[in-house]
């Protein structure tokens, strides 16, 4: 499941409890940013950029799965790009036996890990996909309001567009982080012996 | 029903889906039709009928199966129709009289159960296939929607009002695309020998 390092912010992450706390903390921060983006959507519309950047940072640097950083190995199960030639030269002098043999444990997922990765994506897909019917219904409702066939005092086209924005933002955050979060949440305690 | 294969070797709306070529033709045809429907919906002037849009979206989502038992891909989970969860009887069974609802008149009428009657849980290999299809679909969706959002963000200044006007049609296309993609991946990637076993 995890990359070579089992620590995040100096905290050991072998225990499932620790990983669950991390997931909750990350989502609490992301939720805060989402709420801020939605609240300031009219006065400072570019605030949502920060939410996207923070989500990207959380997905790539904390959770992992999409790069060499983070707790989870890269999902694609492909070796990392070869390092520059100068690195090989240095490594040859320090440990010649390692030349040409990249550390597979840092990127290769075994069969169990691939199975868990796929299952996590299946579960995440259900959650992420369920937001799209909501967007369609909100858009359809907005159209009815715009057409004048539905008239309520509090329901305006602007309100509907803001609702769609809120759902889309939450959906984007979940789409970027959820599979890795599911793995971190469900993976049992790691015994390093 | 064939073991270990997510695809049901049946004809689909008159189109055979036994070989890989036939399945890929089905996938290409499906998305071509979706594209045409999206373009027509966007280009056609005048007001859009909301109910037609929603009906089209949900009908299209179910066509390839996966979510519903009638498509070429087996249903991933047991299809639950309205009232079935609480009463143990499907929506169509409820259309009978009270006596029939109580199960006193023998076997209830069953006109269309969405495939829930002959549904069997997916075996281990089928579950793996389903999960992997969703992994691939997730990657594709993330890339395509990322590009779409990027284009939208870049052209926001010029297209803002246009997007707001066409939003229901665009949302419908995206919905169908996202919900049907795992089934399309299954149909596209299933090896040739699906009907040979």
pLDDT value for A28 = 97
The yes-or-no verdict on residue B197 having pLDDT over 80 is: no
- Mean pLDDT value across residues A170-187: 93
Locus of tokens 């695809």:
B7
Question: Mean pLDDT of all residues in chain B?
Answer: 75
Q: Which residue of A has its CA nearest to B170?
A: A136
What number of other Cβ atoms are within 10 A of residue B156's Cβ?
A: 11
Q: Which pLDDT tens digit goes with each residue over B6-59?
A: 677 666 666 677 788 888 998 999 999 999 988 888 887 665 577 777 788 878
**Rounded to an integer, what distance in angstroms lies between the CA atom of residue B156 and that of residue B164?**
11
The yes-or-no verdict on residue B103 having pLDDT over 60 is: no
- Contacts of residue A137 in chain B, CB cutoff 8 Å? 54
Cβ–Cβ contact B149 with A under 8 A: yes
The yes-or-no verdict on residue B97 having pLDDT over 70 is: no
Token pair for B101: 């609802």
**Rounded to an integer, what distance in angstroms lies between the CA atom of residue A74 and that of residue A65?**
4
The answer to whether A140 contacts B134, with C-beta atoms less than 8 Å apart, is no
- Mean pLDDT value across residues B56-64: 82
The yes-or-no verdict on residue B95 having pLDDT over 50 is: no
The answer to whether A125 contacts B130, with C-beta atoms less than 8 Å apart, is no
More reliable by pLDDT, B28 or B70: B28
- Contacts of residue A125 in chain B, CB cutoff 8 Å? 134, 137-138, 182
CA dihedral A28, A33, A39, A43 (to 10 degrees): 170
Q: B13-22, B94-103, B148-157: which range is least confident on average? A: B94-103
**Chain A interface mutation, best of B138, B148, B149, B150, highest count of A Cβ atoms under 10 Å:** B138
pLDDT value for B45 = 65
Question: Mean pLDDT of all residues in chain A?
Answer: 83
DSSP helix, strand, coil percent of chain B (3-state; round to 5):
60, 5, 35
**Chain B interface mutation, best of A136, A159, A160, highest count of B Cβ atoms under 10 Å:** A136
Q: A36-50, A147-161, B124-138: which range is least confident on average? A: A147-161
Which residues, including other chains, have CB under 8 Å from residue A110's CB and lie 6 or more apart? none
The yes-or-no verdict on residue B81 having pLDDT over 60 is: no
DSSP per position, A50-117: HHHHHHHHIIIIIIBSSSSSSSB--TT--PPPPPPHHHHHHHHHH-GGGTT---GGGT---HHHHHHH
Cβ–Cβ contact B42 with A under 8 A: no
| Sign of the C-alpha dihedral computed for residues B188, A76, A124 and A166 taken in this order | negative
pLDDT value for B92 = 45
Chain A residues contacting B via beta carbons under 8 Å: 75, 115, 117-119, 121-122, 124-125, 128-129, 132-133, 135-137, 139-140, 142-144, 147, 157, 161, 164, 172, 175-176, 179
The yes-or-no verdict on residue B109 having pLDDT over 50 is: no
- Contacts of residue A147 in chain B, CB cutoff 8 Å? 47
Indicate the pLDDT class of residue A186, thresholds 50, 70 and 90: very high
The answer to whether A143 contacts B135, with C-beta atoms less than 8 Å apart, is no
Using CA atoms, how far residue B39 sits from B34, B36, B163, B179, in Å, is: 9, 5, 14, 19
Q: Which pLDDT tens digit goes with each residue over A41-91?
A: 778 877 888 899 999 999 999 998 887 788 898 888 887 776 666 666 666
Token pair for B50: 């909301």
Indicate the pLDDT class of residue A2, thresholds 50, 70 and 90: low
**Chain A interface mutation, best of B164, B177, B189, highest count of A Cβ atoms under 10 Å:** B164
- Contacts of residue A119 in chain B, CB cutoff 8 Å? 131
Q: Which residue of B has its CA nearest to A119?
A: B131
Q: A7-21, A75-89, B129-143: which range is least confident on average? A: A75-89
Cβ–Cβ contact B57 with A under 8 A: yes
Nearest CB to A147: which of B47, B171, B179?
B47
Which residue in A70, A78, A31, A55 sits closest to A184, CA to CA? A70
Indicate the pLDDT class of residue B89, thresholds 50, 70 and 90: very low
Cβ–Cβ contact B66 with A under 8 A: no
Query: 3-state class of A16 per DSSP?
Result: helix
The helix (H) or strand (E) run that includes residue A156 is none
Indicate the pLDDT class of residue B151, thresholds 50, 70 and 90: confident
Structure pTM? 0.80
Nearest CB to B138: which of A125, A144, A157?
A125
The yes-or-no verdict on residue A98 having pLDDT over 90 is: no
Share of chain A above pLDDT 70, in %: 85
- Mean pLDDT value across residues A165-171: 89
The answer to whether A140 contacts B131, with C-beta atoms less than 8 Å apart, is no
Share of chain B above pLDDT 90, in %: 19
More reliable by pLDDT, A30 or B76: A30
**ipTM score of the complex?**
0.83
Q: Which pLDDT tens digit goes with each residue over A132-143?
A: 889 888 888 887
- Mean pLDDT value across residues B133-156: 86
């Amino acid at each position: 499941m995890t990359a070579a390092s089992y620590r995040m912010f100096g905290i050991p992450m072998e225990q499932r409890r620790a990983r669950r706390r991390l997931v909750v903390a990350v989502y609490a921060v992301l939720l805060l940013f989402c709420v801020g983006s939605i609240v300031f959507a009219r006065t400072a519309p570019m605030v949502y950029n920060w939410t996207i950047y923070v989500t990207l940072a959380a997905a790539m640097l904390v959770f992992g799965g999409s790069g060499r950083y983070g707790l989870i190995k890269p999902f694609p199960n492909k070796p990392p790009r070869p390092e520059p030639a100068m690195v090989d030269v240095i490594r040859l002098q320090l440990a010649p036996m390692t030349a040409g043999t990249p550390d597979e444990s840092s990127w290769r997922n075994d069969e169990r890990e691939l199975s868990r990765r796929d299952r996590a994506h299946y579960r995440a897909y259900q959650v992420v996909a369920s937001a799209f019917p909501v967007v369609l219904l909100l858009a359809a409702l907005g159209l009815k309001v715009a057409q004048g066939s539905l008239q309520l005092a509090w329901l305006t086209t602007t309100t509907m567009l803001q609702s769609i924005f809120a759902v889309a933002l939450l959906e984007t955050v979940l789409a970027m982080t959820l599979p890795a979060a599911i793995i971190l949440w469900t993976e049992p305690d790691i015994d390093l012996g | 029903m064939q073991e270990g294969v997510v695809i049901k070797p049946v004809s689909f709306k008159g189109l055979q889906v036994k070989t890989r070529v036939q399945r890929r033709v089905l996938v290409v045809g499906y998305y071509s039709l979706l594209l045409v429907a999206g373009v027509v919906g966007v280009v056609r002037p005048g007001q859009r009928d909301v109910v037609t849009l929603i009906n089209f979206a949900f009908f299209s989502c179910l066509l390839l199966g996966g979510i519903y038992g009638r498509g070429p891909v087996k249903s991933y989970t047991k299809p639950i129709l309205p009232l079935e969860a609480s009463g143990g009887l499907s929506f169509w069974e409820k259309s009978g009289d009270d006596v029939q609802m109580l199960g006193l008149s023998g076997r209830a009428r069953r006109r269309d159960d969405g495939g829930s009657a002959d549904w069997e849980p997916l075996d281990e290999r089928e579950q793996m296939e389903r999960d992997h299809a969703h992994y691939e679909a997730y990657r594709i969706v993330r890339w395509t929607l990322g590009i779409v959002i990027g284009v939208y963000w870049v052209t926001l200044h010029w297209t803002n009002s246009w997007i707001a006007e066409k939003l229901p049609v665009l949302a419908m296309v995206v919905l169908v695309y996202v919900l049907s993609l795992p089934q399309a991946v299954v149909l596209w990637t299933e090896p040739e020998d699906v009907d040979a076993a």
